[in-house]
Amino acid sequence: MTKQLTVTIPEACAMTGLGRSSIYRLFDDGKLQRLKAGTRTLIRVDDIEAYIESLTPKSI
């Protein structure tokens, strides 16, 4: 099975649990990069994984 390279914004939301506006905020902050394929906006799965890994777990 081949690993999926990119996802759409709704797929990124489902993967991360973040909302659409949060994904766009990450684009604006430079934490995620958007790719354009015609009119479609795509995000590299590797970029999403790297962003999630960069988050610091919150201590209780």
In a domain, 59, yes or no: no
pLDDT of residue 59: 67
The 3-state DSSP class for residue 43 equals strand
pLDDT of residue 47: 97
Could you tell me the sign of the dihedral formed by the alpha carbons of 8, 30, 51, 4, in that order? positive
Q: What is the pLDDT of residues 30-57, one digit of tens each?
A: 999 999 999 999 999 999 999 999 998 8
pLDDT of residue 60: 65
Determine the Cα–Cα distance for residues 25 and 22; give it in Å rounded to an integer: 5
Average pLDDT, the chain: 94
Number of domains making up the chain: 1
Residue 19 has pLDDT above 80, yes or no: yes
Q: Which domain holds residue 15?
A: 6-54
In a domain, 20, yes or no: yes
Rg over alpha carbons for the chain, rounded to the nearest Å, is: 12
Q: What is the pTM of this model?
A: 0.85
8, 40 Cβ separation under 8 angstroms: yes
pLDDT of residue 2: 86
